[in-house]
Amino acid sequence: MKLLFVGPALLGDYSTGPGYILNNTLNTLPDHITAEVMVFRNNTVDKSEKATFFKGNIKQVVFESQLAPLTSFNILRATFTSKLVVEEQLFLHKIEEITPNFQYVIWLGSPYDPISTYLPKYSRVPVLFHISDSIFLFEQRRKKIFNTRILIAKLREKQVLKTKYHKFIYVSHEDYLLAKGLAPAEMKMRVVLLPIGIDIHMYFPVERQKRNRFVLLFSGNLSYKPNEDASKFIISQILPQIPVDFEVRIAGRNPTQAIIEAKKRYPNLVVTGEVDDMKTEYDNADLYLAPMVSAAGIKIKILEAMACGLPVLASKIAADAFAVTPHGIVRCTSVSDFIANIFHYASNHEDRMKLGGLAASFIKADWAWQVRTNKFISYLK
């Protein structure tokens, strides 16, 4: 069997959701399945060159023309017109030309992209849309009131769910249920749930000893609005209520000026910036904080922390991404819940170790990447 994975150039960046999914899937495909990757550029800030992004003998085809960036104008064009610009037409004709050489195409682009409603028409073989997260749910959580952006996201996702894809793959239970509700009756069975996977050879538990300093960890790309919002929650709601000998670490690239300046007020706040090895951060922490107040989908960082045996305190939004709150995650529905659980697990080493062990066991049993890839292959039928 031969597969073609298609998407924007950021697929080569392991730190992005689509890049993470693609690279780990490619690395766990069985020998009888081969794959090629076709990437394009549709973001004017993307400076990546033709790349040898992918591990193993993965052939990469680069579509040389710059596709239209996902600006508000082009999203509106995709939603309310059938017009395609020249570069998009050329891209689709390229798809039409090369797809007879494959058995399946896997589209890892955005529902906002105009191409998303035309790809199955031009492909000569079945196409799976690995949507991952619902754009409608994402926009709902970004805004407290229903506005035009939320309406556009809903309309656009409904349009895509009418398109004749072989499967629509979502990674969180909440996104999957919402998409089932948006899809027309004849397409509902094509909406499937495929949770994200974790490389359990890279992320695994270590023996944790009692330390003099209790460490709370949050991580992520801090210029991403949901991570910025979570950091603000930690700084404004949690830091003022915990002792100064509790260290709070916010790890990740692009910390905002507000996050950096908060260090002046709180000597127990550590803002690391980008780190080379997140495994070390997980291993040196005692609790992982996931106080997400916006965004959708299962957060990879939560799964990584759990795989390392780190208990997670999660907001309702973070916990609701799972069908059932997993062992290893404590659901916190208020600031007082977060504070009470921080103090409880800080003073109860055995409870903390037990919860961390449950977290690691949960990931190993159901979330190892090979398990996910095997289920993905089952959808190619």
For residues 171 and 247, membership in a common domain is answered with: no
Q: For residue 137, what are its two tokens?
A: 């749910």
Q: For 88-99, how does the pLDDT look when each residue is reduced to its tens digit (9 = 90+)?
A: 898 899 999 999
Q: For residue 27, what are its two tokens?
A: 């690395």
For residues 219 and 348, membership in a common domain is answered with: yes
pTM of the model: 0.78
pLDDT of residue 123: 97
Number of domains in the chain: 2
For residues 143 and 260, membership in a common domain is answered with: no
User: 298 or 288: whose pLDDT is higher?
Assistant: 288
Q: Residue 199 falls within a domain, yes or no?
A: no
Would you tell me the crossing angle of helices 148-162 and 173-182 to the nearest 10 degrees? 80
47 pLDDT more than 50: no
pLDDT of residue 58: 58
Residues 6+ apart with CB under 8 A from 43: 8, 9, 10, 69, 70
pLDDT band at 241 (very low <50, low <70, confident <90, very high): very high
The gap from C-alpha 22 to its chain's centroid, in whole angstroms, comes to: 12
Element (H, E) at 336: helix 335-347
Of the candidate ranges 29-43, 170-184, 252-266, 281-295, the one whose mean pLDDT is the lowest: 29-43
- Beta-strand runs (E) in the chain: 2-8, 34-41, 59-66, 104-107, 127-132, 167-170, 191-193, 214-219, 246-251, 269-273, 287-290, 312-315, 329-332
Of the candidate ranges 69-73, 157-161, 328-332, the one whose mean pLDDT is the lowest: 69-73
For residues 190 and 219, membership in a common domain is answered with: no
Task: Please state the φ and ψ torsions of residue 153, each to the nearest 5 degrees.
Answer: -60, -40
Residue (of 193, 120, 124) closest to 159 by Cα position: 120
55 pLDDT more than 90: no
* CATH number, residue 36: 3.40.50.2000
Can you tell me the mean pLDDT for 137-152? Answer: 79
- Where in the sequence is the domain holding 74, given as residue range(s)? 2-194
Can you tell me the mean pLDDT for 18-31? Answer: 86
pLDDT more than 70, % of the chain: 89
Q: Residue 378 falls within a domain, yes or no?
A: no
Q: Residue 318 falls within a domain, yes or no?
A: yes
For residues 172 and 233, membership in a common domain is answered with: no
For residues 166 and 268, membership in a common domain is answered with: no
Q: Residue 84 falls within a domain, yes or no?
A: yes
What is the dihedral angle through the alpha carbons of 221, 232, 44, 64, rounded to the nearest 10 degrees? 30
For residues 167 and 66, membership in a common domain is answered with: yes
Mean pLDDT for all residues in the chain: 87
pLDDT of residue 44: 41
Q: Residue 202 falls within a domain, yes or no?
A: no
Question: Which of 194, 222, 254 is a domain's end point?
Answer: 194
Q: Residue 299 falls within a domain, yes or no?
A: yes
